[in-house]
Structure 1
């Protein structure tokens, strides 16, 4: 059975991790250890309500899509995996 991560997901994962490092000033080593269930909002002090806006803006810029206000909820920021799935579901093909 092939358990390889699809290239599109791997690319998005690398880009999203870079965004977290850049916008939240987190250490690369820390972000590289994020798993699907790593908690984000409420667990990472650097990701407060003000930082969310900067994070979302950077995601829009680097992935090339617009995030509507109604798309933003606590679930999308709950874990790293949820945020990656959010990006993967909305990024242009």
Structure 2
């Protein structure tokens, strides 16, 4: 499964979006565009991504541009996996 597909699955499960997450593309806006994705949800999503991918995300890595779109979040996870 591609990283972006796993990221979409994490978003869907964490934010309880049901089938909506399956329709997401790399260009789908996240923070500020999806009502369920607020500042509190960021912490939950980060934790879920860490558990799913076996990565550790530092507090200073949690920046707005990472959570701008599904694609930017997947690219961030990809970089963490490659590190």
| TM-score of the two chains, using structure 2 as the length reference | 0.91
SS of residue in 1 equivalent to 2:67 = coil
Task: State which structure, 1 or 2, has the greater radius of gyration over its C-alpha atoms.
Answer: 1
Spell out, residue by residue over 1:46-65, the C-alpha distance to the aligned partner (whole angstroms, 9 max, x if none).
00011110000000011001
> Over aligned residue pairs, what C-alpha RMSD do you find?
1.4
1:55-74 matches, cutoff 5 A: 55-74=45-64
Unaligned runs of at least 5 residues, structure 2: none
TM superposition shift of 1:15? 1.5
Unaligned runs of at least 5 residues, structure 1: 1-9
Q: Which runs of 4+ in 1 moved over 2 A?
A: none
Spell out, residue by residue over 1:54-83, the C-alpha distance to the aligned partner (whole angstroms, 9 max, x if none).
000000011001000111100000111100
| Larger RCO (alpha carbons 8 Å, 6+ apart) | 2
* Distance in 2, Cα, partners of 1:61 & 1:75: 22
Which of 18, 21, 44 is residue 31 of structure 1 equivalent to?
21
* Distance in 1, Cα, partners of 2:14 & 2:28: 18
TM superposition shift of 1:13? 2.0
Paired positions, count: 83
| TM-score of the two chains, using structure 1 as the length reference | 0.82
TM superposition shift of 1:92? 5.2
Structure number with higher helix proportion: 2
Question: In the alignment, which residue of structure 2 is the partner of 1:78?
Answer: 68
